[in-house]
Every structure is written in structure tokens, then in C-alpha cells.
Amino acid sequence: MASWLMDPIKPVSDEAAKAARRRLDKLTKPKGSLGVLEELLVRLAAMQDSDLPSVDPARIVVFAGDHGIVKEGVSAYPQSVTLEMVRNFCQGGAAITVMARQLGVPIEVVDVGVMENPGALPGLISARAGSGTLNILTDPAMNPDQFDVAARAGKAAVDRAVGEGTKLFIGGEMGIGNTTAAASVVCALLGPPPESVAGPGTGLDVEGVTHKADVIQKILLRHLDMTNTPQGVMRRMGGFEMTALMGAYIRCGQVGIPVLVDGMIASACALVAATIHPPLKSWLIFSHRSAEPGQYPVFKALDAQPVLQLDMRLGEGSGAAAALPILRLACALQREMATFEEAGVSEKGSDVPDRAEVSEA
């Protein structure tokens, strides 16, 4: 498999994190009173080696690919929707494209393996590894060459972003059937029972979710004895768009770009990437807690705290886009708030009695 995947992850800066914390503690507020905003700011400072980090310009890249597992009835939508949504992205009518416009963030759509070739569409980049993956109930999703092509599609997207000065990367995905693939990957790497990670995806009812869990169990029985690396798990059970996301996350860590991770599918891809490279965890900010239960074991494994909980399960990068303004606010507060000295505001001093003295009086 591609040798670049094993290139080292760039270390984050502990000194910059400490400097950011020192400045935060001088701003006109009680220490720690901005809660998670402060923690996000300190993390970004460490990633960017600056006590005044910025997340702009940000960039959204949506990877699309189809899944052979759809043949097993694991989705409420037909496979044709993947192609139809790619067209919708390129026409600006999808949720993530609306959000990108509102946020003023450029968006790129990459075809890594939609079943039917979309052809030339405005803003669409073709990096096809194949016409959809094979049915992972019976076969490996992709061969090693296809895995390399898909992973390189993610690397290339990040390299393009670096060339345009991007400071924050948001990866999205589109692929009918990919919650089944993602749940299978999570089960293979972390070991939770399929019934605990199978979710409604595109809108399955209770019976549909039960069937999905049964399919995932059969997928694990088919492949687990033949996988001994996270790359192998992704190649056998994942998707082209998932492999591209995994490659993008690894590349972000290698070149030093913070990542805002989306929901269930993106989290499964981040899990694979961070299992290959444990230091990558320092570059991953998880944007939201999805309504898909398969994301929860990933949070536990990576000791991650999501920024938002909005019960979203759309994918496309939409949850990450929703969290971007929070990161923007954290950076703006660090840059623009006055310190106590600058504002002429008194700090808490030694003349302020503590609670014990007050209560005794």
C-alpha cells in the first residue's frame, strides 16, 4: 500500500498551548469562564503553533462513492441517490452547499467511485478508484490498488487545500450504504456488538436496523480472520469515499492542518487514521455527537469530546460545518478581547475575601 500513509504526523506545540492559556487568563473574564471555547482555542493554538490561531480560510471537501452492500437491503434509499446527490452538490442545492455559502467557505466535491460516472459537472473532481465497492458481505470492498487510488484522492484534496492557504479542513462524504460499512469498521477495530452500533442511517425502521445489525455480524465473520491492520479493515469493509477521508485526515496531520471531524462515517474514518497514527488524535476536533450510535465507541476510544449535540445524522460534513462558527468565535475572543491591563479593569486580588472568611463572618 502507499508508502506516504506511514509518513510521520507533525507534532503539536505545547509551548504555544501554554502561551494561549496565559493570554486567555489575562483577558477580562474569570479564568476558565468561557469553558469549552477556551479548550478549543488552546488546542488550535497547539496545532498552529500560535497563541492567536485562526480557522480561516477553512475548506470543505465532500468525497462520494457507492457501496455494493446496498444489495443487502441496508438502506432506506436506492443506490441511485448517490449520483443524484453528487449532481445536487454541484448545483448548490444540498445542505452542505447551503451551509458552505452561509459560512463563506469554499467547497469541493470529489468522485472517488460513484457507481455511474457523473461525467463533467461544475466543481466536480474525478479521482475514481472504481464504480462502487464490491458487496462486503461476500468480497473485500476493494483491491489494494483501488485502496491506494482512493487514499491518494484524500491526500490530493489536502494538498490542494494547502496550496490555497487553508487553515482548517472539513471532510464530508456521500455514499448510500456507508453507515453499514462504517459500523462494520468500528466493530472490527473496537469490538462492540453490531446491535449496539447499527443505526437508522437514511431512515430505517426498527426492523430495518435489526436486519442491518445481522448483516454487519455476517460481514465481520466474513472478514475478521483476514484483517490484522487498520488499513486492511478499511480495504475489506470500508468504501472509496471513506478511504479518501482516512487519507485526507492522515495528510492533514502530516502537513499540520487542524481537522474538524463530522459525524458517524467521518468518525469511523478518523478512527482508522488514528489507529494507524496515534499522534493524529491531537489534530482531530470532533464537531458533533451524531444520532448514529456507532459514533459513541469512537469517542470513547479516542477520548474525544464533541463540540455540539444536535441529533444530526445527515453526513456531507454538515455537522462539522455547524460547529465551525464556534471555533471562529473562540479565535475571535482570543484576538479581540482586552486584557485586564488594557481595559483598566481590576483583577481578582488578594484583598478579595475567600468564601470561608465570608461565611465565618
What's the order of all strands across the beta sheet hosting 284-286?
124-126, 107-113, 58-65, 168-174, 259-261, 284-286
Cβ atoms of residues 181 and 223 within 8 Å = no
- Helix, strand or coil for residue 69? helix
Cβ atoms of residues 194 and 183 within 8 Å = yes
Cβ atoms of residues 197 and 186 within 8 Å = yes
The Cα 220–Cα 138 span in angstroms is 11
The Cα 1–Cα 18 span in angstroms is 39
The Cα 263–Cα 323 span in angstroms is 11
Sequence-distant (6+) residues with CB within 8 A of 31 are: 24, 25
Q: Which of 116, 316, 336, 342 is catalytic?
A: 316
Report DSSP state, residue 311. Answer: -
The Cα 115–Cα 82 span in angstroms is 8
Active site residue 241: no
- Helix, strand or coil for residue 162? helix
The Cα 351–Cα 223 span in angstroms is 68
Cβ atoms of residues 185 and 277 within 8 Å = no
The Cα 148–Cα 119 span in angstroms is 22
Catalytic residues: 316
